[in-house]
Amino acid sequence: MRSRLYDAYHEAASAKRGEDGTLPASAVPGRVRDYIALGQQQQPILLLSCVSAANLKRPPVSLQHLTVEFGVRFRVRTSGGIVEGDFVVVSLRGDDVGLDEAFCLAADALLAALPDAPSTSDVEKVIREFVELLSALTTPSKRAVAGLWAELWLMSVAADPQAAVAAWHRDPSDRFDFSFEGYFVEVKATEQEERNHAFSHEQLRRSESPIQVVSLRLRQAQGGKSIADLVSTLQGVLGPDLRTKLVRNVFGAIGGSVSEAAEIRFDETFAAAHLRVIAADRIPVVVIPEGSPISSVRFRVNLDDSSLTPNMLRRVIQQALSLYVGTSG
């Protein structure tokens, strides 16, 4: 599943350019005055209207991946005919066409919070957030794709995806991946045959609340789901604030590796069949003597060890992040 805006962009890309050079465009899904057009270099161009777009004069913004122009007169050709008006024009740079899907995911999330007839301040707020989101794509990747995919997939199949996204960490360096009321969830993923996962001592022992560890084995598959597919699925069930959090977290995690990450797909059926859950206090840890100056200990544990597998449960998939509601062995 792709974002609706990405589909609209491809619809514009399949249309013929007008003889007068007018750019083809499609209406932004769910909006009547905004459009996504196809640029001269095949890049997506977002056209945002507002109450006083013609009078919205601001210096243009030029970033590594993005340009923004205010109060620009623009003429496009849609399936309904020629549209001409004054817009705020947000364009992906022509040499960054590989980021077109990320551009559309970010726009999809932000436009959900924009009123039908936005004021100047509404549009300026969206532009600021757009710039912030796209700027994350200039930073080094902070996460392995498999780990991020596992967290997104679990949220997409959770009994309550909104609660799951709300509980999701904002910083990849946080101790736990999910912080629910009364318990924590740590997600581990591997593409290897053995469930050999890395832990910190703090993740498994130093918490007053219960900790559940979700272990997933993953397998790449051409017909599987990508990170963008999972984000699009979640966006369909989230409110505006959580949609923005979702995209911000994903972009912040994969950074400049977004194009490479888009090519990686994992098999959902395989992941579902190899989902296991174990209480953190059942996992052995390195013993640190009381009063020891040692801290920040990290180690690896093979959860397929015969001493641990009897404690591992296969949860009902839709309840993977509602760990105290129903289980199956």
Question: What is the edge-to-edge ordering of all strands in the sheet holding 183-190?
Answer: 178-180, 183-190, 211-217, 275-279
Amino acid at site 237: V
Residue 320 has what pLDDT?
A: 67
- pLDDT for 18: 67
Q: What is the dihedral angle through the alpha carbons of 25, 30, 32, 33, rounded to the nearest 10 degrees?
A: -70
- CB 82, CB 155: distance < 8 Å: no
Q: Are the C-beta atoms of residues 90 and 44 closer than 8 Å to each other?
A: no
Q: What is residue 195's predicted lDDT score, i.e. its pLDDT? A: 94
Which residues of the chain register pLDDT less than 70? 1-2, 18, 53-55, 318-320, 323-329
Rounded CA-CA distance 274/193 in Å is 10
- Token code pair at residue 235: 């966006």
Count the Cβ atoms, other than its own, within 10 Å of residue 7.
Answer: 15
Query: Tens digits of per-residue pLDDT, 162-185?
Result: 999 999 998 777 889 999 988 999
Task: Please tell me the predicted confidence (pLDDT) of residue 53.
Answer: 63
Distance CA 268, CA 58 (A): 46
User: CA dihedral defined by 197, 203, 209, 214, rounded to 10 degrees?
Assistant: -20
CA 288, CA 297: separation in Å to the nearest integer? 9
Gap between the Cα atoms of 73 and 59, Å rounded: 15
The predicted pLDDT at position 35 comes to: 95
How far apart are alpha carbons 282 and 306 in whole angstroms? 13
Give the Cα separation of 235 and 156 in Å (integer).
10
Residue pair 123/58 in contact by the 8 Å Cβ criterion: no
The 3-class secondary structure across the chain, one letter per residue, is: CCCHHHHHHHHHHHCCCCCCCCEEEEECCCCCCCEEEECCCCCEEEEECCCCHHHCCCCCEECCCEEEEEEEEEEEEECCEEEEEEEEEEEECHHHHHHHHHHHHHHHHHHCCCCCCCCHHHHHHHHHHHHHHHHHHHCCCCCCHHHHHHHHHHHHHCCCHHHHHHHECCCCCCCCCEEECCEEEEEEEECCCCCEEEEEHHHHCCCCCCEEEEEEECCEEEEEECHHHHHHHHHCCCCHHHHHHHHHHHHHHHHHHHHHHHCCCECHHHHHHCEEEEEHHHCCCCCCCCCCCCCCCEEEEECCCCCCHHHCEECCHHHCCCCCCCCEC
pTM: 0.85
Name the amino acid, one letter, at 312: M
Q: How many angstroms separate the Cα of 292 from the Cα of each of 36, 186, 202?
A: 60, 26, 15
